[in-house]
Structure 1
Amino acid sequence: MIIVTFIRHGESTDNPRAVWGGWKDAPLSDLGRKQARALGEHLASTKIDVIYASPLLRAHHTGMAVQNGQPKPPPLILNPNLREQHFGIAEGYSWCYTYPDHMSLDECYKTGIFPAFFDRSGRFPGGESIDELAGRAHGAVKECIFAHLTEEDGFHIALASHGLCIGELVHALLSYDPESNREESYTGLMNTAWTRAVISLDPSYQGHVDSDNPPPLRVKVTHIAKEDHLKNIDEITDVDGNFENERKTEALAFFGGAGHTN
């Protein structure tokens, strides 16, 4: 049995601005650093054997906070397949739900309007669709999880990644268990919230374990969107001294994975 904890990064400096982030490499905000430190302290009593992180700063530094919180810091390995969905030409521009009825998408793009897609095949020019992100997530599962299938019982892997990517990672993992519940949504994570799964070999399997072509597995999701470590963190107001407006709230939910189906 091995354990996998999926961790969404702390708040980045782009998150409060409600822009298309993707591969745009914004660092953690002041609040994000607090969140990451609180997560590291929260997980300090949980032994983690290896940490894989997206190389994007917000996830990398969240992974480092978890690493620093461990009594015996485990190795931290960067893996590009753990990066967020790539939003192509939209990155850095304001996030929005819809666009004016009188404008085509091409006209919107020329004027800096980039409305969200809510289907799995939609993508901005130069970017990725959710289906393409799912293919990358399958690669990450093989590289970061299946490479450890033969480790000793209780081996614990932490993956520091991004909201949309984590939803695809969990479903990619569940696809190797023919009895898993794939109808459940594993999106909508708050910053630094975590989800955990326990993986074991199908007890009927007696053959060789090949990480590139794994045997049937048993995957049980034991924790979903845990955020207890955030209870004592002070909220930070925006630059105008106001709390999150509706657009920001919607954008935060979107990038946590809400609004997408797996």
Structure 2
Amino acid sequence: MAAATSQRAIVYTQSHRWSNNNSRFEKRTGNVNLVSVGDNYTSGRKFGLVCASSLQGSSVMEPIQLPSNGNSGHIPKKSNESSLILIRHGESLWNEKNLFTGCVDVPLTPKGVEEAIEAGKRICNIPIDVIYTSSLIRAQMTAMLAIMQYRRKKVPIIVHNENEQAHMWSQIYSEETKKQSIPVITAWQLNERMYGELQGLNKQETADRFGKEQVHEWRRSYDIPPPNGESLEMCAERAVAYFKDQVVPQLTAGKHVMIAAHGNSLRSIIMHLDKLTSQEVISLELSTLNRHSYALHFQGREVY
């Protein structure tokens, strides 16, 4: 394992060759726990993982370099090689106020804007061909601010497929301009878990009213939803179905994909990729961008 440090910013890279046994690779960084199961991968194929942790208070950020076979740091694009970057949005106005947000469309705070920019600096060297984000503004702001730090200077362009007219009116007719663009696809399926009647309530006041154990059960159980809301299981059903249908074909085609979304929709995708149990996924914590962002690098990995 190689580690590069700059003040309190840390980058870890590891590369592994998997066999068809039941061996597990487990990596902990801060409060992010990533688990990969060996028998979910093709025998003898290589899988590299990059985990970037930007601890709160860090002021200098070192860009991530994905693993490569050479010394140049350049990753040649191959049909069986792709990368997946998962980023949780920066701090929102309701994160700041300690309110349940869920599917309420709340923008970032100035701190959240800074977090998104810093996350972009961390991934500025990683190739990106397409961006997926939720339909909520805090995830879209994060995606746009992060990709503006991209060293290849490509322009992110939101794809409008709401109806035929929107699709036609947003067409680009220059092939050269298309090459210098990154499509940004928005999807409600990647939205945060819907918290039902908790949305807009103060988290501490809600715990005082209903009891800490009840609120903890609503927030951290896998299959128990809050009143008129979604459980993590329900959120995972839509997020993973969309991931399989829309994102996996991009990865298997060798595309480099970034997803900017939310704690629970991203946990759902990680649960699917790493075959986590319902107990393992509820202990997986993804803080806003001042804490963690990470990238998965696929080299011939079978993604289902």
TM-score (norm 2): 0.55
Corresponding residue number in structure 1 for 2:239: 137
Cα root mean square deviation, aligned: 2.7
Kept in 1: contact 2:100–2:200 (CA 8 A): yes
Amino acid at match of 1:7: I
Kept in 2: contact 1:53–1:79 (CA 8 A): yes
Q: Deviations over 1:88-147 (max 9, x none)?
A: 1110011147456xxxx6xx9xxxxx8342321211232101110111121132134212
Instruction: Write the distance in 2 (CA, Å) between the matches of 1:64 and 1:143.
Output: 24
Corresponding residue number in structure 2 for 1:169: 269
Instruction: Write the distance in 2 (CA, Å) between the matches of 1:181 and 1:195.
Output: 20
Instruction: Write the distance in 1 (CA, Å) between the matches of 2:284 and 2:200.
Output: 23
SS in 1 for 2:93: coil
Amino acid at match of 1:48: I
Corresponding residue number in structure 2 for 1:196: 295
The structure 1 residue matched to 2:259, chosen from 156, 159, 165, is 159
**Aligned 1:23-62 pairs, distance under 5 A:** 23-62=103-142
SS in 2 for 1:14: helix
Kept in 2: contact 1:83–1:161 (CA 8 A): yes
SS in 2 for 1:65: helix
- Which deviates more from structure 2 when the two are superposed, residues 157-166 or residues 191-200? 191-200
Query: Which blocks of at least 5 consecutive residues in structure 1 are unaligned?
Result: 109-113, 203-216, 220-262
Corresponding residue number in structure 2 for 1:85: 193
Instruction: Write the distance in 2 (CA, Å) between the matches of 1:147 and 1:190.
Output: 28
The structure 2 residue matched to 1:72, chosen from 154, 170, 174, is 154
The structure 1 residue matched to 2:225, chosen from 123, 143, 150, is 123
Instruction: Write the distance in 2 (CA, Å) between the matches of 1:199 and 1:115.
Output: 38
Kept in 1: contact 2:248–2:303 (CA 8 A): no
Instruction: Write the distance in 1 (CA, Å) between the matches of 2:144 and 2:122.
Output: 14
Query: Which structure has greater strand proportion?
Result: 2
Q: Once the 2 structures are TM-superposed, how far is the Cα of residue 45 of structure 1 from its aligned partner?
A: 2.0
CA 1:98–1:51: 2 relative to 1, 3 Å: same
Corresponding residue number in structure 2 for 1:228: none
Percentage identity across paired residues of the two chains: 26
Kept in 2: contact 1:7–1:195 (CA 8 A): yes
Q: Once the 2 structures are TM-superposed, how far is the Cα of residue 72 of structure 1 from its aligned partner?
A: 1.8
